[in-house]
Amino acid sequence: MGFIKGEVFGNIGVQVTHLQFVDDTVIFLKPRVDYLLNLKRIIRCFELSSKLKINFHKSYVIRVGKNVTNENSWAYIFRCRKATLPITYLGLPLGGRPYSKVFWNPVVDKIETRLRPWKRKFLSKSGRLVLIKSMLCSIPTYYLSVFKKPVAVAQRIEKLQRSFF
Q: Please report whether residue 25 resides in a domain.
A: yes
pLDDT in tens, 56-76: 888 988 887 766 667 778 888
Q: Is pLDDT of 83 > 90? A: no
Residue-wise DSSP of 67-119: S---HHHHHHHHT-EEE-SSEEETTEEESS-TTSTGGGHHHHHHHHHHHHHHH
Same domain, 53 and 116: no
pLDDT recorded at residue 45: 94
Q: Please report whether residue 125 resides in a domain.
A: yes
Domain coverage including residue 109: 102-164
Same domain, 145 and 110: yes
